[in-house]
């Protein structure tokens, strides 16, 4: 059993996320290890000796297709040994307290508001969560990440291992935390009785995977970054891709399928959009969806709402959608709807 002093300033958890999705809430050590192990993976859970009076475990989990967003907290300090995660990647963002993590031959420290950890499935891991640590955690299936990495790098059969420490105060870290928190917020709004739209969930999940693979170093980073040197003129494949986006504007952005339809690798396709259209693939899809949204608003049936039309087209951030819509058309979506009724 690990032995360490608990700082006198440690305080109970105050802000609980995903409270309606409670899976585990207990002060029993064996129950916590067994129940949380069923959700994540079997692991050894051991309170630090002086933490016995403070021990409790809380795990809230909203399951989505290919991923889950979780809130996990432990009272006091606990040692956790999951070994290799095997089936999934685990992004852990501390909301309170901190943790010492040994993974892949490195020891890193993470703490609330400063840093997060990204655990890879092939790297053995041991952790000590301290100061009543609470984390917002994203679990993503290994296959989804490795398929996207292979498509981006145009190289398959490689196990992806990330640099495990993420600085939350870099632009990448801020964007990543914002995406995870928005996913948790959507789950909280819907509640356990109403599932998040599969289109929206898939779009957010794939956006996060793409952000991780292009913003955080991993085993295929160099391959992805070398692709621009091989990029040549791609007008015909880009036209195919643009036509595909037009025809499937209401569906989640599936980069792998888009690249297959165009006959090119994902990274080359991304760079081609930047070079020839002056925008990212996501921005191109946004442009198409805005055009479709305006057309639907102008011929909306009685009782149809902006929110419903926007969600049907795959918009996830309604306030952002309204802002870019106003920038493009000089009025809000609701004003367009009112003018054409």
Residue 50 pLDDT class (50, 70, 90 cuts): low
pLDDT at 8: 35
Phi, psi angle pair for 76, to nearest 5°? 70, -140
Q: Which CATH architecture has domain 285-339?
A: Orthogonal Bundle (1.10)
Q: Return d(Cα 90, Cα 201) in angstroms, integer.
A: 17
Weakest-pLDDT range from 57-61, 163-167, 254-258, 298-302: 298-302
The residue ranking higher by pLDDT, 91 or 311, is 91
Domain ranges of the chain: 19-190, 231-278, 285-339
Q: Which CATH architecture has domain 19-190?
A: Sandwich (2.60)
pLDDT at 195: 79
Phi, psi angle pair for 299, to nearest 5°? -130, 30
The residue ranking higher by pLDDT, 89 or 268, is 89
Q: pLDDT tens across 226-264, in order?
A: 765 555 555 788 889 999 999 999 888 999 999 999 998
> Given this chain, do its domains 231-278 and 285-339 carry the same CATH topology?
yes
pLDDT at 35: 93
- The CB density around residue 6, as the number of other CB atoms within 10 Å, is 17
CATH number for the domain running over 231-278: 1.10.10
What is each CA distance from 178 to 11, 82, 207, 284, 317, in whole angstroms? Answer: 25, 27, 12, 22, 12
Q: pLDDT tens across 113-142, in order?
A: 999 999 999 999 999 999 999 999 999 999
């Amino acid at each position: 059993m690990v032995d360490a002093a608990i700082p006198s300033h440690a305080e109970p958890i105050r802000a609980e996320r995903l409270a309606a999705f409670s899976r585990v809430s207990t002060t029993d050590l064996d129950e916590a290890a067994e129940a949380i192990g069923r959700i994540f993976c079997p692991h050894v859970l051991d309170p630090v000796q002086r933490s016995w009076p403070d021990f409790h475990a809380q795990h809230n989990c909203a399951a989505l297709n290919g991923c889950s967003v979780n809130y996990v907290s432990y009272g006091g300090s606990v040692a956790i040994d999951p070994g290799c995660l095997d089936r999934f990647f685990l992004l852990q963002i501390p909301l309170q307290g901190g943790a010492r993590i040994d993974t892949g031959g490195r020891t890193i420290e993470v703490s609330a508001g400063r840093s997060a950890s990204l655990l890879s499935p092939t790297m053995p891991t041991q952790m000590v969560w301290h100061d009543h640590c609470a984390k917002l955690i994203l679990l993503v299936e290994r296959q989804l990440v490795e398929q996207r990495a292979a498509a981006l790098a145009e190289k398959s059969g490689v196990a992806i291992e990330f640099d495990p420490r993420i600085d939350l105060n870099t632009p990448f870290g801020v964007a990543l935390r914002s995406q995870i928190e928005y996913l948790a917020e959507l789950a909280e709004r819907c509640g356990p009785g109403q599932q998040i739209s599969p289109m929206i969930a898939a779009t957010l999940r794939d956006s996060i995977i793409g952000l991780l693979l292009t913003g955080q170093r991993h085993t295929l980073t160099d391959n992805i970054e070398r692709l621009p040197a091989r990029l040549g003129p791609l007008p015909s494949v880009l036209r195919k891709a643009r036509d595909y986006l037009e025809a499937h504007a209401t569906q989640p952005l599936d980069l792998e399928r888009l690249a297959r339809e165009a006959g090119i690798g994902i990274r080359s396709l991304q760079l081609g959009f930047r070079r020839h259209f002056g925008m990212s693939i996501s921005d191109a899809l946004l442009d198409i969806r805005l055009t479709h949204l305006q057309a639907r608003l102008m011929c909306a049936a009685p009782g149809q709402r902006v929110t419903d039309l926007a969600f049907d087209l795959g918009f996830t951030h309604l306030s952002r959608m309204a802002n870019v819509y106003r920038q493009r058309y000089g009025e809000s979506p609701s004003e367009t709807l009112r003018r054409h009724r």
